[in-house]
Amino acid sequence: MQELTWWQHGIIYEIYPRSFQDSDGDGIGDLNGILQRLDYLVQLGINAIWISPIYPSPMADFGYDVADYCGIDPIFGTMEDFDRLLAEAHRRGLKMILDFVPNHTSNQHPWFLESRSSRENPKRDWYLWRDKPNNWLSNFGGSGWEWDETTGQYYYHSFLKQQPDLNWRNPAVQAAMFDVLRFWLRRGVDGFRVDVMWLMIKDDQFRDNPPNPGYRLGQPSSHRLLPMYNSDRPEVHDLVARMRAVVDEFPQRVLIGEIYLPVEQLMSYYGRDLKGANLPFNFHLLQCAWTAEAVKQVISDYHTALPKGAWPNWVLGNHDNARIATRVGTSQAPVAAMLLFTLPGTLTMYYGEEIGMTNVPIPPERVQDPAEKNEPGLGLGRDPERTPMPWNGTPSAGFTTGRPWLPIGDHEAINVAALEHDPASMLQLYRNLINLRRSNLTLVSGALQSVTVEKNVLSYQRIDDKQRIVVLLNIGSAPETMTVERGTVLASTYLDRVGQEVIGSIDMRASEGLIICLKTLIRDVPPGSEGADMS
């Protein structure tokens, strides 16, 4: 088997820096806070951290409105703090991935200030200026076009009006942004997660989008139109390939794309000859119904569509979606974790999932997210999944000595200190599963086979020439008896049964997940009896 690179076998842990650990009492997490928690992350067993934007920003979209791509916002610390964090992460064997936000800058970025100063300014064409708006909408509600008084034109913004879109057709924009990548790669970062990769380039004729026949009241207003001309344009792939080439100027780095698209389109971001994104983020588990059938479908569709030679990846949570424990319920959250850690390829998890954090309800007067403020009441706010990490049971949870920027929620029972020494806790389950994956490459790169559903139990096998592992996930609230070949239990979501021998069948408890190492390898199975166990 080919030697795997770090980003292939590793587990990526997303840190939303405002909420991980505050070190200076301003109620907002920062780089020195992350530094204090590196040993915790090493103990958890993850291999890489991806940190959401830490660059100077007016924080209209909490860092996704960048005013300087090559600096650190004072809220998060200094460049010295950054360099120290990177060095300390590397010293512990952790990789560090930064967020790169190419589609738009802040309206306070010097490039935009210049661009809007006059129609003759050399940076005028760095953004998208038009005499008349077309019908394109902003993803945060309302028209995507903003009138600019000084120069008498409109500029386009896919998100807030404080986030004007760059014109990626302009070679000077490309060159400047690629130099930003080099700036951080030279400093030693291990790769990038690229924000809204599939939106980067728009139709050069600015054609109107067609209406969306599937739109229903209660959906985000941007869903009224199909984003035909302002998203997933054919020209984007050339840009991604160029970005990849820049990243490949440095050894052992990774390019990850944030892409919310149906599976077929998603796969095109691996690029021609796989020279696009190393990992186009696969968000399909975030969006599917939580039933054995639906999850089976997602897994089969993804693996059927995966291009030959492309490396798979799975994401269980991020800062834009409801927390997994809220989405599937607390009794199924361990099953979801077992699913994630037994799927092929690179895995991404979100801070706090390892302690079963749930969405925290935000009282109206404490709402921060513009997505909620712009279109209240539709449940679009992302604050609930961005709340501070509860490190202990004290009033401010060990997160800060000041007033946390978002409410911490009910953390008396669910916090790191409380779960740390409880051998039956979610944290322990995460550590065990991560450990198991690290010591069983079959779970990383073995073939995925026999994906089946019986009753409410989803099962599949992971196979290589050394091992055959079966995973059984009871995505139901009733016990089930399942037929299984002879084997040994490697893990249960109930954190017991390890080492138990299985002969013929096994009684599964409600919401139980099991990993079982089977006795016979495929090549040992006598001809004619393959699959007799599962199919």
Is residue 295 within 8 Å of residue 339, measured between CB atoms?
A: yes
Give least dist CB 509 to ligand GLC, A.
Answer: 37
Active site residue 195: yes
Is residue 434 within 8 Å of residue 47, measured between CB atoms?
A: no
Closest to ligand GLC by CB, 233 or 382: 382
Of residues 262-281, which lie at the interface with Mg ion (CB under 5 A)?
none
Give least dist CB 260 to ligand GLC, A.
Answer: 8
Give least dist CB 64 to Mg ion, A.
Answer: 19
Is residue 197 within 8 Å of residue 277, measured between CB atoms?
A: yes
Residues of this chain that interact with ligand GLC (CB under 6 A) are 61, 64, 101, 159, 195-196, 258, 319-320
DSSP 359: P
As a three-state string, the secondary structure of 217-258 is ECECHHHHECCCCCCCCCCHHHHHHHHHHHHCCCCCCEEEEC
Tokens of 443: 């779970």
Closest to ligand GLC by CB, 253 or 319: 319
Question: Which range of residues in 21-29, 238-246, 253-261, 524-532 is near Mg ion by CB under 5 A?
Answer: 21-29
Which of ligand GLC, Mg ion, none does residue 28 bind to, with CB < 5 to 8 Å depending on kind? Mg ion
Closest to ligand GLC by CB, 50 or 430: 50
Q: Is 376 helix (H, G, I), strand (E, B) or coil?
A: coil
- Virtual CA dihedral for 216, 222, 226, 231, nearest 10 degrees? -150
Helix 79-91 vs helix 171-187: crossing angle, to nearest 10? 60
Question: What are the Cα distances from residue 251, in Å, to 168, 216, 256, 269, 274?
Answer: 26, 47, 15, 21, 17
What is the Cα 77 distance to its own chain's centre? 24
Closest to ligand GLC by CB, 18 or 233: 18
Which of ligand GLC, Mg ion, none does residue 61 bind to, with CB < 5 to 8 Å depending on kind? ligand GLC
Tell me: does residue 320 bind Mg ion (CB under 5 A). no
Q: How far apart are CA 289 and CA 332, in angstroms?
A: 13
Q: How far apart are CA 335 and CA 438, in angstroms?
A: 19
Give least dist CB 319 to ligand GLC, A.
Answer: 6
Give least dist CB 177 to ligand GLC, A.
Answer: 15
Q: How far apart are CA 164 and CA 230, in angstroms?
A: 14
Neighbour order of strands in the sheet with 468-474: 447-454, 457-463, 468-474, 513-518, 480-492, 501-508
> How many chain residues are in contact with Mg ion, going by CB under 5 A?
5
Closest to ligand GLC by CB, 148 or 320: 320
DSSP count for the chain of H helices, then E strands:
16, 17
Closest to ligand GLC by CB, 134 or 321: 321
Closest to ligand GLC by CB, 230 or 440: 230
- Catalytic residue among 249, 293, 412, 454, which? 249
Give least dist CB 62 to ligand GLC, A.
Answer: 7
Which of Mg ion, ligand GLC, none does residue 26 bind to, with CB < 5 to 8 Å depending on kind? Mg ion
Which of ligand GLC, Mg ion, none does residue 320 bind to, with CB < 5 to 8 Å depending on kind? ligand GLC
DSSP 354: G
- Catalytic residue among 190, 195, 464, 533, which? 195
Q: How far apart are CA 314 and CA 415, in angstroms?
A: 26
Tell me: does residue 28 bind Mg ion (CB under 5 A). yes
Tell me: does residue 389 bind Mg ion (CB under 5 A). no
Among 24, 125, 420, 480, binds Mg ion (CB under 5 A): 24
Which residue is closest to ligand GLC by CB? 64
Give least dist CB 163 to ligand GLC, A.
Answer: 6
Which of Mg ion, ligand GLC, none does residue 22 bind to, with CB < 5 to 8 Å depending on kind? Mg ion
List of long-range contacts for 262-265, beta carbons under 8 Å, 24+ apart: 263/301, 263/302, 263/305, 264/305, 265/198, 265/232
Closest to ligand GLC by CB, 301 or 320: 320
Which of ligand GLC, Mg ion, none does residue 195 bind to, with CB < 5 to 8 Å depending on kind? ligand GLC
Among 4, 5, 26, 223, binds Mg ion (CB under 5 A): 26
Give least dist CB 158 to ligand GLC, A.
Answer: 7
Of residues 170-229, which lie at the interface with Mg ion (CB under 5 A)?
none
Q: How far apart are CA 13 and CA 354, in angstroms?
A: 10
DSSP 20: T
Tokens of 423: 């051998």
Is residue 164 within 8 Å of residue 202, measured between CB atoms?
A: no
Of residues 29-68, which lie at the interface with Mg ion (CB under 5 A)?
30
Is residue 409 within 8 Å of residue 360, measured between CB atoms?
A: yes
Is residue 137 within 8 Å of residue 224, measured between CB atoms?
A: yes
Give least dist CB 318 to ligand GLC, A.
Answer: 7
Closest to Mg ion by CB, 17 or 280: 17
Which residue is closest to Mg ion by CB? 30
Tokens of 89: 């992460």
Is residue 130 within 8 Å of residue 153, measured between CB atoms?
A: yes
Which of Mg ion, ligand GLC, none does residue 159 bind to, with CB < 5 to 8 Å depending on kind? ligand GLC
Number of Cβ within 10 Å of residue 464's Cβ equals 18
Number of Cβ within 10 Å of residue 1's Cβ equals 9
Which of ligand GLC, Mg ion, none does residue 64 bind to, with CB < 5 to 8 Å depending on kind? ligand GLC
Applying CB under 5 A, which residues contact Mg ion? 22, 24, 26, 28, 30
Positions annotated as catalytic residues are: 195, 249
